[in-house]
């Protein structure tokens, strides 16, 4: 939360991540935790969190990356590739705890705020 505060107004999410957050929340059993998460997501949405689409440019970027990785014998996780593509084509830093899933995408800037 401290990192979010430090970068207030300087972050966005991809539609793919927004889906994953909402899906995870909706899949939870009714509980205090679920209510708190729903409230937090609503607050983000109501306060204008920018949700970036997976668009034409992102699709082309990911296609190029997948082909290059395949040529090297690597397989890109599809959803992670879409998330990476949205960040890359919007010249954003992708913040994730799981940098291993994104490390082979060329030109993608990564940060792990959990280290």
**Distance from C-alpha of 113 to C-alpha of 115, rounded to nearest angstrom:** 6
3 band by pLDDT with thresholds 50, 70 and 90: low
pLDDT mean over 80-105: 94
95 and 79 in a common domain: yes
Which pLDDT does position 4 carry in this prediction?
61
In percent, how much of the chain has pLDDT > 70? 92
The answer on pLDDT for 6 being more than 60 is yes
66 and 47 in a common domain: no
61 and 46 in a common domain: no
80 and 46 in a common domain: no
- CB-facing half-sphere around the CA of 83: CA atoms within 13 A: 24
27 and 73 in a common domain: no
The enclosing domain of 82 has a CATH number of 3.40.50.1010
Instruction: Select from 16, 37, 52 the last residue of a domain.
Output: 52
80 and 44 in a common domain: no
**Distance from C-alpha of 29 to C-alpha of 57, rounded to nearest angstrom:** 37
Which pLDDT does position 44 carry in this prediction?
87
17-73 per-position pLDDT tens digit = 999 999 999 999 999 999 999 998 998 899 889 999 999 999 999 999 999 999 999
Q: Which of 86, 62, 94 is nearest to 76 (CA)?
A: 62
Average pLDDT in the chain: 91
Look at the chain and report how many structural domains it folds into: 2
Instruction: Select from 27, 52, 77 the last residue of a domain.
Output: 52
70 and 41 in a common domain: no
44 and 22 in a common domain: yes
85 and 60 in a common domain: yes
Instruction: Look up the domain containing 66 and give its range.
Output: 56-111
Q: Are 85 and 58 a contacting pair, CB within 8 Å?
A: yes
The answer on pLDDT for 88 being more than 70 is yes
97 and 65 in a common domain: yes
């Amino acid at each position: 939360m401290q990192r979010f505060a430090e970068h207030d107004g300087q972050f966005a999410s991809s539609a793919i991540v927004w889906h994953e957050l909402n899906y995870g929340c909706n899949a939870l059993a009714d509980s205090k935790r679920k209510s708190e998460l729903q409230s937090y997501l609503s607050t983000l949405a109501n306060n204008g969190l920018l949700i970036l689409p997976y668009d034409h440019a992102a699709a082309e970027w990911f296609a190029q990356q997948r082909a290059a990785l395949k040529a090297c014998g690597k397989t890109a996780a599809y959803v992670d590739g879409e998330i990476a593509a949205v960040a890359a084509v919007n010249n954003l830093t992708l913040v994730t705890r799981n940098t291993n899933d994104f490390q082979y995408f060329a030109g993608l800037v990564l940060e792990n705020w959990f280290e």
